[in-house]
Amino acid sequence: MANLTSAINVNVPTDVKEEATAIFNDLGLNMSTAINMFLKRAIYEHGIPFEVKIPNSTPSPELLDAIEEGEKILKDIKNNKRKPYDSPSELFANLDKE
């Protein structure tokens, strides 16, 4: 059986095509080869070859810790337990003294 090819027409934003083309060129690929690689990988994995999901809107534990720390710092400043700084340079100058 002959190896037949079929054309696929895909509309993408021009900037996306240009940026992808530049990346593929740096990898020694053309757009057709890159798309074929994607399609073959999708067949191999029986699905999209990367995770597709709605971004998690739940803050990470690290972010929650940072928020809690920031709230504690603000509370300490309001209760005169911590000195506020008017600029990063003032903060760094004070850190150098310690």
What pLDDT, in 10s, does the model give residues 15-31?
999 999 999 999 999 99
Domain residue extents for the chain: 14-45, 61-97
CA distance 34 to 41: 11
| Average pLDDT of the residues of the chain | 91
* pLDDT surpassing 80 at residue 45: yes
Q: If you average pLDDT over residues 90-96, what whole number do you get?
A: 85
Under 8 Å between Cβ of 76 and 82: yes
DSSP assignment string, the chain: -------------HHHHHHHHHHHHHTT--HHHHHHHHHHHHHHHTS-SS---PPP-SPPHHHHHHHHHHHHHHHHHHTTSS---SSHHHHHHHHHH-
Please, what is the end-to-end C-alpha distance for the chain in angstroms?
79
What pLDDT, in 10s, does the model give residues 48-65?
999 888 887 888 899 999
